[in-house]
Copies of this chain bind each other. A is one copy, B any other.
Amino acid sequence: MKIAMLGSGFIARFYADSLIGHRRIDKLHAVYSRNIEKARTFATDYGLPVYSDSLEEVVNNPEVNVVVISLPNDLHLAAVEACAKAGKHVLCTKPLGRTAAEAKQMLDMVEKAGIMGGYLEDLCYTPKFSKSLASVKGGSLGRILWAKSREAHPGPHSNWFWNKEQSGGGAIVDLGCHCIEIARNYIGKDVRPVEVMCWAATQVHPIDAEDNAIGMVKYANGAIGQFEVSWCFRGGMDLRDEVMGTEGTIWINNFLRTGFDMFSTGKEGGYVAEKAESNTGWLFPVGDEVNELGYNHMFTDMFEAIEQNRDPFETFYDGYVVNAIIDAAYASAKSGLWEPVEIDDWRGRTDDNHGAKFAEFDEQYYLIKEEILPHGERKLILKDKKTGEVIVRDL
């Protein structure tokens, strides 16, 4: 497949690295940047035959099959529109829109045009995430009760992120989109997110948007998703997930503690580990960042989906649902209330299976807990189904 890249900044280069790495059959063919110089540099660095500062020219290039959007958030809609018009498959970086309304427009465009809309949510493609999700789906954790994802670092590198108009918000829209979709996958994409409570504040930076936020997302089956996002974290990039099920637990650390520790006095200069705040003292580099962050696996899925004429693992619809949750989070941060998640077009389950299933002991009792005491004796803590009385039975 021949690919056009829209954008030539930090994320475009990350995408290009994963598209070129490991001798892929898919080729980057053209690049668009608003700044022709940047487009030229990008084309030179990655060996692309075509570059331009005209988005239409790039999208409509006859050799291009697929378009990758790595532009600032406020330019996604127009870019998707151009792809839809040209009938080219489109892969859009996260978040899909600045709002659910924008995302819904993009979703409608690709569905109407009959092209594939792939949502480039790389963190739902990391090797650790994929394997852990398989475990969850396979039942290793039982019923999922809580899924938390945390992303925090000292703030974004590109200036447009700091402009609320362009980005659509602060840490929530920038980092929360990852965390929300991670939790949603663990809980189940077919389970409806119902309402959101969010705290957000501008604690450190002189900006209009939030630089620190915590949110809780209630799902129709009683599970809870949680996101913790910050542009105020010191120490590098903190990227961790936790899942709690009735039968198990998952802890994932994607960055700062991955089994790679380095100490350097820095006396002899030397190599700087990326995203670290320093190149001396204890450092925690990541082996192959592009792989650990899921880019390789994401593009593999996207291109196979196109060839196999199936949906990719992360679609524009997923991006739209995430935007709807983000909208509710912003509303809640403002109102201080649990705010409903407005999804016009819910495609998942509609039976709300709220109830926790209590463990039966016998006809009369529920089992609260079986306890092993320090000296090895065992006891049962039971609850009478009718009277509610809690009793203890030694074994």
Q: Copies per complex?
A: 4
> Given the complex of chains A and B, what is the CA–CA distance between A289 and B233 in angstroms?
28
Whether A207 contacts B368 by the Cβ 8 Å rule is yes
Q: Report if A131 contacts B (CB, 8 A).
A: yes
Contacts of A154 in B (CB 8 A): 369
Assess whether A76 is interfacial by the CB under 8 Å rule.
Answer: no
Task: Answer whether residue A23 sits at the interface, using C-beta atoms and an 8 A cutoff.
Answer: yes
A388 B208 Cβ-Cβ under 8 A:
yes
Question: Among residues 322 to 361 in chain A, which have CB atoms less than 8 Å away from a CB atom of chain B?
Answer: 336-338, 356, 358-359
Among B138, B267, B304, point to the contact of A271 (Cβ < 8 A). Answer: B138
Contact partners of A257 in chain B: CB under 8 A: 259
Distance (Å) between the CB of A335 and the closest chain B CB?
A: 10
Contact A369 B269 (CB under 8 A): no
Q: Is A363's CB within 8 Å of the partner chain B?
A: no
Contact pattern, A 238-281, Cβ under 8 Å of B = 1, otherwise 0: 10000011111111111001111111111111110110011111
B251 touches A356 (CB 8 A): no
Which positions 289-306 of chain A face chain B at CB distance < 8 Å? 291-292, 296-297, 300, 303-304
Alpha-carbon distance between A247 and B264 when the two chains are bound, in angstroms: 6
Chain B residues, CB < 8 A from A141: 264, 270
Query: Interface segment, A86-94, A122-130, A171-179, A309-317?
Result: A122-130
Given the interface pairs A206-B368, A222-B201, A300-B22, the reply to whether A270 lies near B235 with Cβ below 8 Å is: no
Does A162 belong to the interface (CB within 8 Å)?
Answer: yes
Judged by a CB distance under 8 angstroms, whether A188 is at the interface is: no
B282 touches A140 (CB 8 A): no
Known pairs A24-B24, A222-B203; A258 contacts B259 (CB<8 A): yes
**Would you call B135 and A262 a contact (CB within 8 A)?**
yes
* With contact pairs A131-B287, A300-B23 given, residues A204 and B383 touching in the complex (Cβ less than 8 Å): no
Mark each residue of chain A from 40 to 75: 1 if its CB lies under 8 Å from any CB of chain B, else 0.
000000000000000000000000000000000000
Q: How far is the CB of A213 from chain B (nearest CB, A)?
A: 10
Does A285 contact B203, Cβ atoms closer than 8 Å? no
Which residues of A are in contact with B by a Cβ distance under 8 Å? Answer: 21-26, 126-132, 134-135, 138-142, 145-146, 152, 154-155, 157, 159, 162-163, 197, 199, 201-208, 212, 214, 216, 218, 222, 224, 226, 230, 232-236, 238, 244-254, 257-271, 273-274, 277-288, 291-292, 296-297, 300, 303-304, 336-338, 356, 358-359, 366-369, 371, 373-374, 381, 383, 385, 388, 390-392
| Closest CB pairs A-B (n = 6) | A127-B287, A281-B281, A127-B288, A140-B270, A235-B263, A253-B259
